[in-house]
Amino acid sequence: QQQVKQSPQSLIVQKGGISIINCAYENTAFDYFPWYQQFPGKGPALLIAIRPDVSEKKEGRFTISFNKSAKQFSLHIMDSQPGDSATYFCAATSETSGSRLTFGEGTQLTVNP
């Protein structure tokens, strides 16, 4: 019940295209859903996050869509750039878990020039 499932495992997009990564969770106690971006040799860095009281959050080219009833959320990267090429992890946590993050399996995004 603690799992977060992420797809696809890898994604190749042309420059200017839209990248979409999906995640699903089971634990209804989760109340905070961050996305982390990881470049090779670096630690994960918080990209954008959402709480379940809203259905969408947008920051620049990055948008999270959240469907509470389906227990799914997704990351959309508009106008994808080669510099966006990285591994993206969705995650989930709750106040009661002390911010123990449960990560998805990761999506390796490649944006071709």
Partner 1 sequence: EPEVTQTPSHQVTQMGQEVILRCVPISNHLYFYWYRQILGQKVEFLVSFYNNEISEKSEIFDDQFSVERPDGSNFTLKIRSTKLEDSAMYFCASRKRGNTGELFFGEGSRLTVL
Long-range pairs for 67-72 at CB < 8 Å and ≥24 separation?
A: 70/24, 71/24, 71/25, 71/26, 71/28, 72/22, 72/23, 72/24, 72/25
Q: Which of 47, 84, 88, 104 binds partner 1 (CB under 8 A)?
A: 104
Q: Which of 40, 60, 98, 113 binds partner 1 (CB under 8 A)?
A: 98
Q: In the bound complex, what is the minimum distance in angstroms from residue 105's beta carbon to partner 1?
A: 5
Q: Which of 45, 54, 59, 81 binds partner 1 (CB under 8 A)?
A: 45
Give the start-end residues of each E strand in the chain.
4-7, 10-14, 19-25, 33-38, 45-50, 56-59, 62-67, 72-77, 86-92, 102-103, 107-112
Q: In the bound complex, what is the minimum distance in angstroms from residue 7's beta carbon to partner 1?
A: 13
Specify the stretch interacting with partner 1 by CB under 8 A; choose among 13-21, 58-66, 73-81, 90-98. Answer: 90-98
Residues 49-68, one symbol each (x = binds partner 1 by CB under 8 A, - = not), give x-------------------
Residue 48 makes contact with partner 1 by CB under 8 A: no
Specify the stretch interacting with partner 1 by CB under 8 A; choose among 18-26, 43-51, 54-62, 66-74. Answer: 43-51
Q: How far apart are CA 57 and CA 104, in angstroms?
A: 20
